[in-house]
Amino acid sequence: MLADLQQHRAFMERAIHEMSNCPGGTKVGAVLVVDNKVVATGFKTSGCHAERAAINQAKANGIDLRQAVLYTTLEPCVQVKKTQKIACCSSLIVAEGIRRVFIGYTDPNPRVLRQGWRSLRDDGVELLYFPKDLRSAIEAIDPFVHVFSQSIGPTGTMVVDVLEPETVTIQFSEADPRTMAIRWSWSGKNQAFAYSSAGIDVALAREAREFSEIDDPGIFKFGPQARVLIGNIVIFCHQDAYLLAKVLEAKAGPSYGDEHYLVKFQYQIRLRSG
């Protein structure tokens, strides 16, 4: 059993190594194995996902993938746009008859998160995750895994999964390492909850629609939470700064006719004087 686990681990490490070949920010590596031998590898490029690259390589060499095991450092993608013409990786894996997949890291994109896993599960694919230490190695290599939980100000836009209350950390600026940890949850159709956290209270900036309309963020009534409609602005109050957040999109799941649970918001950090 130990030898079997060690063998799987070697293939997982090979997939992580493939990540180093990726150009750009999002790094994904994939390895296909048949009869305990690597038959194809792939890494993400701007035009091709890692799983597809490995599958294409294997097929070009005439390899039957029905007995293959796939090791991929990121959860295989699903169709996120109705106009998408190229089959997503989850569908491709099923179409090629691959019945076992090891996944390194869950895709943090709220529109994909665990949807690839579910799609493969529903088609009878056996799914396992890389062990914790290798997931940590992926997290250290690939900045993409932080995109939906961390950002750097003073301005920006984020998309956050909110099926469970989610905390995101925003650094004041490139030059200022101080951070604010703010919390969100779903509320209902076209609205979200903003929550207080340690050292941070929240207030709804009533009637304001643009950040420029708020000259003094401190005038509003701060408390433990605020319900924020699309287009409204909420203020997070930190001892060193205010963070103004305008909700651009809010999804509350199937019960409200939405496919996902997410909040998309634009933010601006303003340092407090004195």
- What is the rounded average pLDDT of the residues 137-143? 89
Residue with tokens 């088609």: 123
Comparing 61-65, 138-142, 191-195, the range with the smallest average pLDDT is 138-142
What's residue 4's pLDDT? 67
How many angstroms separate the CA atoms of 64 and 34, rounded?
9
Is 51 known to be catalytic? Answer: yes
Q: Residue 274's pLDDT band (boundaries 50, 70, 90)?
A: low
How many angstroms separate the CA atoms of 185 and 183, rounded?
7
Residue with tokens 């997931």: 135
How many angstroms separate the CA atoms of 229 and 193, rounded?
9
Comparing 2-6, 15-19, 68-72, 214-218, the range with the smallest average pLDDT is 2-6
pTM: 0.85
Residues in Cβ contact with 235 at an 8 Å cutoff, skipping those fewer than 6 apart: 202, 203, 204, 205, 214, 217, 220, 222, 242, 243, 244, 245
Per-residue pLDDT reduced to its tens digit, 207-244: 999 999 999 999 999 999 999 999 999 999 999 999 99
2 pLDDT above the threshold of 60: no
Catalytic residue chosen out of the listed positions 18, 51, 75, 96 = 51
What's residue 12's pLDDT? 97
List the Cα angle 141/156/29 in 5-degree steps. Answer: 20
Q: Nearest to residue 43, comparing CAs of 22, 63, 61, 67? A: 22
Percent of the chain whose predicted confidence (pLDDT) is above 70: 97
How many angstroms separate the CA atoms of 139 and 155, rounded?
24
- What is the rounded average pLDDT of the residues 75-85? 81
35: β partners: none
- Backbone phi, psi, residue 186, to 5°: -80, 150
In contact, 35 and 7? CB cutoff 8 Å: no
How many angstroms separate the CA atoms of 207 and 181, rounded?
25
Q: Nearest to residue 205, comparing CAs of 224, 187, 179, 231? A: 231
74: β partners: 105
